Structure 1
Amino acid sequence: MSSMIRIFLALMLCGWALMAPAQDFSGLARLDAAQSAITDTRGGVQIRLRLSQGVPYRVYTLDAPRRLVLDFREVNWQGADPEALDQSMAVTGLRMGTFRAGWSRMVVDLDGAYLLKTTALDLEGATGAADLEVILHKGSDAEFTARAGAPNLPGWDLPEGSSSQLKRPRQRGEDPLVVVLDPGHGGIDPGAEQGGATEKDLMLMFALELKEVLVRAGGFEVVLTRSDDSFVSLERRVALAHRAGADVFVSLHADALSEGLAQGAAVYTLSESASDAASAALAERHNRADMLAGVDLSGKDDVVADVLMDLARMETQPRAEKVAGELLAALQAQKLKLHSHPLRHAGFSVLKSPDIPSVLLELGFLSSERDLQQLRDPAWRARMASAIRDGLSAWRLSDAASADLVRH
């Protein structure tokens, strides 16, 4: 057997993996799925990942719900089948994908309080290939809760300068309208999937096309929350809009229904109470994206901050509703198919910016064969992009006029 370099990870809460100082870790590692597996052991779980080379990594657990998270810098998951990898009765779900630029993530859903016992990376001196082994053992609920938590890295998922960004004055129709386009999902979170198409890919493609249409029209400055297949947390999406000084935020989606029929476009605005049961279920699925991607959601509640944000929304929410109205009017003018109830509201976390008018636009439903065909059709996407451009242009003028009335 080739000589091996064994590197043991110190079992510290949320600690970074220690790397061998003599080993040069660089480039993109590939997962050898045939030599990788998650299996049960006596009283625990074993995770074995065969990589084409060693890469920096970290391992930690999260609670509510219980998950094991493995971050890598960085791994190509192409060809990996979660169902084939997961051979453990203690694992209830497995997801892999890009988390953020330069980082890949695996999230393992656990059905019990399984604690980190050992983590080791073996490197083959001759080939540079690496074997990562993570051993979990059954512990108590109290132990799991006490040890769980993401590494304490301030700003890990927030853009630089977001905390110090000054509030942008309300737009007056004189300067370019700053539009933040938010292609839903991404990376480890594919969103809806149907017929080989994923929501994350379709929305990114459309967002890039829409940006081009807006820029060519003039009078718009466009920022995307993601421009590649990376995961972006809901909190980061909102923070990016603030850093950009957004005048309006438009989140782009195309959901799929497991039950019932739905087709056509719809626009959602924020509301604590949903307009209907379907909207409530949709918002719940969207808001679960961070949890599914392994984001630590503990410590997110702040009653005082919520009250202050509610006060700020008293001015912003009517403006968001006018954005929705102008978009729907423009879609109708382009004779684009609308949902039977096209104006809806629910508690989408991504719409909760207190001072930026924000809407979520469902371009259609992947569960509808007609909608899926349209989303794949460049001519249809061009019509939709033109309609959104017209709707935002109309809102820009009406919003500026309303601002003048308030000022006087």
Structure 2
Amino acid sequence: MAQGWRRLRAGFLVPVAFVWALCMALALPAPAQDLGGLARLDGAVTLEAGWRSLSLSIPMTQAVPWRTRLMSDPPRAIVDFRTLDWTGFEPASVPLLGDATALRVGNAGGGWSRLVIELSRPMGFAQAGLATDQETGAAVLSIALSPLSDTSFAAQASALAATDGEPGPNVLRTATDRLALGQRPTRVVLDPGHGGVDPGAIHEGVTEASITLTFARELAEALRRTGRYEVVLTRDNDTFISLEGRITVAHSTQADVFLSLHADALEDGQAVGATLYTLAQSATDAAGAALAERHDRDDMLGGGVDLTGTDDAVASVLMDLARAETGPATDRLARALVGAIRGAELRMHRHPWQQAAFSVLKSPSVPSALLEIGFLSSDRDRERLRDPAWRTSMEQALVGGLDAWVEAEVAQQALRLR
């Protein structure tokens, strides 16, 4: 199922010259990695001409958010895609037929790529739909264009433009009357930690930001392929998102679960294995407190709003809400994920479930957890994080853990209805 969302960013920039100099100094090139979660073309793009019509088919390795647009002078039909890699595609390889006069692709900004079909006369979208193979996750976007009068073309162009940034049939909706958990796909927000001017931990040229993005893309693909999950990533490229902005994504998409992904480093180098954190006013140990403090400090460096500086009364209310509304569900989430990781016989920290005051977990309405997949400061963890087979095992364990959590939440709902 294709996904999409509206991303809101709150905060302010810190115009301090040395900050940017420091960030540039730390912006080391990341090594090439297998980004299996990125959608790519999965075959030939085909264009067919019928009587007074055009049909276009775009095969992809997986579904992505998409949107349609019409533009004039000259008339053009446009399809935008989120996180679709067009590498290797040559528009000249597609024969131009019927009213199609040119075909090209480019960057539409904001993480979107654009396919443009130039037309010899005004034509509009008679049909557009995305079909997904539930077994493989592959998807095909099919569109059909038919002639329009100048007036109808302008009307359809205006209607499509009015939906810019709004949920449509091909993106996630946030209706409050959606079905209960278990009767619809579970909506998961994956949060790859750090990004952009904040690379996170760095070791031997490997950045935490690149590791977590790779893992999040792969985990998103694994979840989507089950057909049981809708997945949103807080970032899908190397950009900075503030802590408040990450929480906003969870709220604006009405997420059922928020999972922040990290691969940190600790000075003593002793931490080894996956570690799950949930929200608490005080940390389980000094290492957890140091990690939470550093994450918040990195957010300030990037220009975001540091939620730990919130007025004490407001912070107290948020904490109370988190405990009362989502605390039990979050605890069940932690138990399910830790149980699944251990069940897969994957290495975990000697204290696998800990608590700390991570600001990114301070959403009062969404069960939230932070997973340190491993630690870049550990030689053994670095080797595992770079191993695609190990990542696949961890990703499958997390899918199983989320399945167990959903089952438990459905059972809790049934008990409340008795």
TM class, shorter-chain normalised? 0.5 to 0.7
- Partner of residue 401, structure 2: 391
CA positional deviation for 1:160: 8.2
Q: Write the distance in 2 (CA, Å) between the matches of 1:198 and 1:317.
A: 32
Residues 1-400 of structure 1: pairs in structure 2 closer than 5 A: 67-68=16-17, 81=25, 101=110, 171-295=180-304, 297=306, 301-302=310-311, 305-313=314-322, 314-400=324-410
CA positional deviation for 1:357: 0.1
Q: Describe the superposition over 1:259-299 as per-residue Cα deviations: whole angstroms up to 9, x where unpaired.
A: 24110001000000111111111111111122111335599
The number of equivalent residue pairs is 266
CA positional deviation for 1:81: 3.9
Other structure's SS at 1:288 match:
helix
Q: Write the distance in 1 (CA, Å) between the matches of 2:269 and 2:297.
A: 21
Q: Describe the superposition over 1:121-154 as per-residue Cα deviations: whole angstroms up to 9, x where unpaired.
A: xxxxxxxxxxxxxxxxxxxxxxxxxxxxxxxxxx
Other structure's SS at 2:222 match:
helix
CA gap of 1:171–1:360, structure 2 versus 1, over 3 A, is farther
CA positional deviation for 1:198: 0.4
Give the superposed CA RMSD.
3.1
Q: Write the distance in 2 (CA, Å) between the matches of 1:271 and 1:277.
A: 13
Q: Write the distance in 1 (CA, Å) between the matches of 2:307 and 2:377.
A: 33
CA positional deviation for 1:318: 1.3
**Structure 2: gaps (5+ residues):** 1-11, 28-108, 112-164, 168-173
On the 8 A contact 2:26/2:199 being kept in 1, the answer is no
CA positional deviation for 1:305: 4.0
CA positional deviation for 1:70: 8.9
Other structure's SS at 1:255 match:
coil
Bigger shift: 291-300 or 263-272?
A: 291-300
CA gap of 1:160–1:209, structure 2 versus 1, over 3 A, is same
Q: Write the distance in 2 (CA, Å) between the matches of 1:401 and 1:298.
A: 34
Letter in 2 for 1:321: D
Q: Describe the superposition over 1:181-238 as per-residue Cα deviations: whole angstroms up to 9, x where unpaired.
A: 0000000000011111100000000100001100111110000000000000000000
CA gap of 1:185–1:80, structure 2 versus 1, over 3 A, is closer
Q: TM-score, normalised by structure 1?
A: 0.60
Q: Describe the superposition over 1:293-312 as per-residue Cα deviations: whole angstroms up to 9, x where unpaired.
A: 13355996345544543343
CA positional deviation for 1:258: 1.2
Q: Write the distance in 2 (CA, Å) between the matches of 1:61 and 1:217.
A: 42
Q: Write the distance in 2 (CA, Å) between the matches of 1:232 and 1:253.
A: 14
Q: Write the distance in 2 (CA, Å) between the matches of 1:311 and 1:353.
A: 11
On the 8 A contact 1:374/1:380 being kept in 2, the answer is yes
On the 8 A contact 1:280/1:346 being kept in 2, the answer is yes
- Percent identity reads 47
Q: Write the distance in 2 (CA, Å) between the matches of 1:332 and 1:299.
A: 32
Letter in 2 for 1:398: A
CA gap of 1:323–1:368, structure 2 versus 1, over 3 A, is same
On the 8 A contact 1:186/1:231 being kept in 2, the answer is yes
Q: Write the distance in 2 (CA, Å) between the matches of 1:350 and 1:60.
A: 19
Letter in 1 for 2:354: R
Other structure's SS at 2:240 match:
coil
Other structure's SS at 2:259 match:
strand
On the 8 A contact 1:61/1:69 being kept in 2, the answer is no
**Structure 1: gaps (5+ residues):** 1-58, 72-76, 84-99, 103-158
CA gap of 1:353–1:167, structure 2 versus 1, over 3 A, is farther
Other structure's SS at 1:361 match:
strand
On the 8 A contact 1:266/1:361 being kept in 2, the answer is yes
Q: TM-score, normalised by structure 2?
A: 0.58
On the 8 A contact 2:269/2:377 being kept in 1, the answer is no
Other structure's SS at 2:232 match:
strand
Other structure's SS at 2:366 match:
coil
On the 8 A contact 2:13/2:303 being kept in 1, the answer is no
Q: Write the distance in 2 (CA, Å) between the matches of 1:170 and 1:358.
A: 21
CA gap of 1:69–1:405, structure 2 versus 1, over 3 A, is farther
Q: Write the distance in 2 (CA, Å) between the matches of 1:396 and 1:296.
A: 32
Q: Write the distance in 2 (CA, Å) between the matches of 1:299 and 1:390.
A: 33
Letter in 2 for 1:273: S
CA gap of 1:291–1:168, structure 2 versus 1, over 3 A, is farther
Q: Describe the superposition over 1:71-117 as per-residue Cα deviations: whole angstroms up to 9, x where unpaired.
A: 9xxxxx9x95479xxxxxxxxxxxxxxxx959xxxxxxxxxxxxxxx
Letter in 1 for 2:232: V
